[in-house]
Structure 1
Amino acid sequence: MPSRSPFAAATALLGWFALALQLWLSIQLTVANGQGALAGVWIYLDYFTILTNMLVAMALTAAARGPHGAASRFFARPDVQTAAAMSIIVVALVYNLMLRQLWQPQGWQIVADNMLHVAMPALFLLHWWLAVPKETLRWPQAFAWQAYPAAYFIYVLMRGATDGRYPYPFLDVGALGYLRVLVNACAVLLAFVVVALMLIALGRWQARRSAQAPTSRPGQP
């Protein structure tokens, strides 16, 4: 298989650019509202979309660089790459099915919005399909990967308890109460599990098909 590190590198650059653009837009908005630049950074780091696109950009950077250093080896692991694929797919599904209609971005925000919620999920899934080895994927990993969205849920509740701000309407404790938010979070967590299981099933099928494929053409040794 030819190296796909140039594709990973180009997609990583796109991901980092999208993240930088969204950070600039967030800071620009809070400065215009008189809240200051740090408020923009604080709000920026509240979103699962941002944190997951950071994870995806790091996974792509590791794939492009190769196994150079502990961090690159960790993010290049097939299970970490697949967990990132699970998370960015859920980002795309939740945003495009539930949240897109709730606001109307303008100007550069449209660009950042579609890069983070459409382009990066699609490109990372393509990278995962073409370049990530899948022989080591196992069913129990689908449940281990839920530590990330579960940790994010706790993080959101802790932040919301301090400043009263919740990044997504289905996690808004102030409007819905803790019980309803917990039910919503469990429903989203179920979506994470389903996507994870689907990725593992696809990955194992791809690995079996690759193992069964002939390694030489007829008539060749």
Structure 2
Amino acid sequence: MKRKFELFGLLIGWFAVLSQFVLMIQNRQADIFETVVRFFSFFTILTNTLVALFFTASVLKTKKVLSRLLLQDGTITAITAFILIVGAVYQIVLRSIWEPTGLQFIVDELLHTIIPLYMLGYWFFNVKKSDLRSKKVFSWLLYPLIYIAFILLRGGFSDYYPYPFLNVSEIGYEKAIVNAAVILAVSIILLIVLIFLGKFAIKVRRN
């Protein structure tokens, strides 16, 4: 049963990411290279790709470096936290600013609602004690820190920011940094919540 869940996670993860890539290429407002760079500038895309890679590594169980990284202690908890951040930010901040239709609507819901909830459910039933070690989990905070630094640095040269709450051109560096700090703080809180919830989940599965 676990393998079926992993295989389904692999399928919906790659379908959502690749479909969004095709849609963005079709509706591009810049040349191909810039569009590809912009595509991978979205935390949503990077994190959903991480989810897809995690399920791929779980299904294939290869001994490659990336697979070992994705299957090491703490990774499942960190990825779950970050994909939940993707879902929460979209539902609270971004959902009201546009109304996708057709395939874009389906892909949008997969990336921001279905996959985050699916990952949470998978995590709840498969998390282990070793996945809740705070040192391993919190080392993943480098991921959003590097992401934010990259977006602000590149935006300074390209004047392109993937999210309005990081758009320095419109809101300034001070507000953008405050917004980034809030998201990091929420990430830390969510990681702590998942560590405690994970201990509860393990007890529930034992009973």
Query: Do the aligned partners of 1:25 and 1:109 also contact (CA within 8 Å) in 2?
Result: yes
Question: Which runs of no fewer than 5 residues in structure 2 stay unpaired?
Answer: none
Query: Do the aligned partners of 1:26 and 1:44 also contact (CA within 8 Å) in 2?
Result: yes
Query: Is the helix fraction higher in 1 or 2?
Result: 2
Between the aligned residues of both structures, percent identity stands at 34
Q: What residue in structure 2 maps to residue 113 of structure 1?
A: 108
Larger radius of gyration: 1
Q: Does 1:154 align with 2:149?
A: yes
Q: Matches of 1:122 and 1:40 in 2, distance apart?
A: 29
Q: Report the TM-score when normalising by structure 1.
A: 0.87
Deviation track 1:3-52 (CA, whole Å, cap 9, x = no partner) reads 5012111111110011010000000011xx4x333332122111000000
Q: What residue in structure 2 maps to residue 89 of structure 1?
A: 84
Cα RMSD for the two superposed structures: 1.7
After superposition, the Cα gap between the structure-2 partners of 1:168 and 1:179, relative to the gap in structure 1 and judged at 3 Å, is same
Query: Do the aligned partners of 2:20 and 2:107 also contact (CA within 8 Å) in 1?
Result: yes
Q: Matches of 1:142 and 1:136 in 2, distance apart?
A: 7
Q: Matches of 2:141 and 2:17 in 1, distance apart?
A: 24
Displacement of 1:203 after TM fit? Answer: 1.1
Q: Which has the higher contact order (CA 8 A, sep 6+)?
A: 2
1:36-185 matches, cutoff 5 A: 36-66=31-61, 68-185=63-180
Query: Do the aligned partners of 1:75 and 1:81 also contact (CA within 8 Å) in 2?
Result: yes
Q: Does 1:13 align with 2:11?
A: yes
The aligned amino acid for 1:54 is: T
1:25-36 matches, cutoff 5 A: 25-30=23-28, 33=29, 35-36=30-31
Q: Report the TM-score when normalising by structure 2.
A: 0.92
Q: Matches of 2:63 and 2:130 in 1, distance apart?
A: 22
After superposition, the Cα gap between the structure-2 partners of 1:66 and 1:17, relative to the gap in structure 1 and judged at 3 Å, is same
Aligned residues: 207
Query: Do the aligned partners of 1:49 and 1:116 also contact (CA within 8 Å) in 2?
Result: yes
